[in-house]
């Protein structure tokens, strides 16, 4: 995709995902499942995987492979990346059962990241919106 094709869109980079104090569940899963080695491919893997889970919260291993197919990893052999995405999917599904707020979280996932009560209940939620770029 060329940058000009994103005109008028919101673009979230890896810097906008989680924070040093509070990793996003996908980052947490890559870390705990050893889904990275040198880290060169990790930003793309995480962003692609987050997009996959946004569209399909419970993907099969084949669907995960298809979801990350545009990214090449020279280190991991992909096995632990698949394990990490599966673990993140499970963690993110469990997060959807939020009890912090009876209204906004249930209407839109996007609202959860803005909800102070939700963020306080889910300690790994980012404290701020991070680096989101308006193109
Ligand atoms: S972790 Fe090194 S290229 Fe993927």
- Residue 129 confidence (pLDDT): 46
From first to last of the 135 residues of the chain, give the pLDDT tens digit: 898 999 999 888 999 998 888 899 999 999 999 999 999 999 999 999 999 999 999 999 999 999 999 999 999 889 999 999 999 999 988 877 666 665 555 555 555 666 666 667 665 555 444 455 555
**Interatomic CA distance for residues 47 and 41, integer angstroms:** 10
Q: Distance from the CA of 72 to the center of ligand 1, in angstroms?
A: 8
- Residue 1 confidence (pLDDT): 82
The domains found in the chain, sorted by start residue, are: 12-134 (1.10.150.120)
The answer to whether the CB of 35 falls within 8 A of the CB of 80 is yes
- Residue 76 confidence (pLDDT): 85
Q: Distance from the CA of 50 to the center of ligand 1, in angstroms?
A: 18
Ligand 1 pocket mutation pick from 37, 46, 47 by most atoms within 8 angstroms of CB: 37
Count CA atoms closer than 13 A to 46's CA, side-chain side: 23
């Amino acid at each position: 995709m060329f940058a000009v094709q994103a005109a008028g869109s919101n673009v979230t980079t890896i810097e906008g995902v989680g924070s040093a104090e509070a990793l996003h569940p996908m980052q947490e899963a890559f870390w705990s499942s050893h889904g990275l080695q040198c880290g060169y491919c990790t930003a793309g893997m995480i962003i692609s995987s987050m997009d996959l889970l946004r569209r399909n919260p419970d993907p099969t291993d084949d669907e995960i492979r298809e979801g990350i197919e545009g990214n090449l990893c020279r280190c991991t052999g992909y096995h632990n990346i698949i394990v990490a995405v599966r673990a993140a999917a499970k963690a993110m599904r469990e997060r959807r059962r939020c009890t912090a707020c009876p209204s906004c979280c249930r209407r839109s996932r996007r609202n959860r990241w803005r909800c102070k009560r939700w963020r306080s209940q889910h300690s790994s939620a980012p404290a701020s919106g991070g680096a989101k770029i308006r193109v």
